[in-house]
Amino acid sequence: DLEAALGLPPFAAEEASGCGGLHSGYDLSWKAQGETFFDDWQFTELSETHGAEWYLNKTEAFRLGVVQATEGNAILRVGDQIVPFKRTSAMLRSAQAWRPDRGFVVAMKYKHVPYGAGIWPAFWFMNSDYLWPQGGELDVLEYANDAESKVTFHTNKNCSLAADKLGNCMKGPGVDNEVIHRCYTNYSSNELGCKPPQIRRTGKWYADNPGVIATVWDSSGVFVYHIPEAEVPPDLETDKPNPNTWERWMIAYLPFDPESCFDIAKPQELVLNIALCGDWAGGAWWASEEARGTGFVPPYCIPGHVTEPATDCC
């Protein structure tokens, strides 16, 4: 299930918790579940990560079983190989978009996520009307191979995380305290976007611990939560999210510096996709114990033959 709620004034301060404030009062603006889950999505066929995925249009994705929807479940999976070194997959982009400056919540209830060597799935936000990263990009759940997921934000603006607020929420054992303050992103100059202290877990962990991944994004920053399946609160079950009560489930907090972060993101579309290998999962192949253990040596898929990036076949 996926739900999105639009935040409305007034702004409710939660300074006592050390986590900034959250908008209160959300109205349900969109819901995708069950047999109609895929009705309000656009299927993107273009892949720009030089991987082994072959993204399908909606008709073909249903015909080949890459997406399925029943009364109780919606499924996005990797399909069969259809051309050398390519397997079918899908990239879904929501037909709706939400404005961070007005505040919104998106929550996804999941039963399983893919993981393993060569896998690169993602649950993220972006704006397709602007040249990347001008419209902003927020990666909520993204990992490759057996690496841990990380929450990051990308923009072409000189925006930074507020140093005086970082760490106010995310403390204690299990927190990865590596921080990148500057959100400006230019991969060619090794500027990778901002990353806050956060709880990082592998894809296998998420697969073994189903629940809800929720994101709150407003003018003050971004809040990301993982709520275990057995602990989903009534406010989410009744489509009346109250993030002020979710602090114990927080896994990442990105407080934006009010002095530098103006107009950093345009209306955000939600994206779900499963990539294979490519720039990240293929590029980090030798850093992954699981990937090395497969015995494959990308890009040498055929003995004596080196493939082009577009036919990455790890």
Residue boundaries of the structural domains of the chain: 2-128+138-149+202-251+269-311
The span from the CA of 203 to the CA of 253, in Å, is 20
Please tell me the predicted confidence (pLDDT) of residue 79.
95
Please tell me the predicted confidence (pLDDT) of residue 111.
97
The span from the CA of 247 to the CA of 238, in Å, is 19
Please tell me the predicted confidence (pLDDT) of residue 265.
86
Cβ-based neighbours of 255, under 8 Å, separated by 6 or more: 20, 161, 162, 165, 166, 168, 196, 220, 221
Please tell me the predicted confidence (pLDDT) of residue 23.
62
First to last CA, the chain: 32
Please tell me the predicted confidence (pLDDT) of residue 170.
77
Contact in structure between 207 and 237 (CB atoms under 8 Å): no
Q: What is the DSSP string of 149-200?
A: P--EEEBSS--BB-TTTTTSSS-STTEE---B-B-BEEGGGTEE-BB-SEE-
Written as tens digits, the pLDDT of the chain (314 aa) is 776 766 543 333 344 345 655 666 789 999 999 999 999 999 999 999 888 899 999 999 999 999 999 998 999 999 988 877 789 999 999 999 999 999 999 999 999 999 999 999 999 999 999 999 999 999 999 999 999 999 999 999 989 999 988 877 777 778 998 999 999 999 999 999 999 999 999 999 999 999 999 999 998 899 999 999 999 999 999 999 999 999 899 999 999 998 888 888 899 999 999 999 988 988 888 899 998 898 877 765 555 556 665 556 55
Please tell me the predicted confidence (pLDDT) of residue 295.
81
Please tell me the predicted confidence (pLDDT) of residue 8.
40
Q: What is the DSSP string of 78-130?
A: ---EEETTEEEE-EEEES--B-TTT-EEEEEEES----STTEEEEEEEE-TTS
Fold of 2-128+138-149+202-251+269-311: Jelly Rolls (2.60.120)
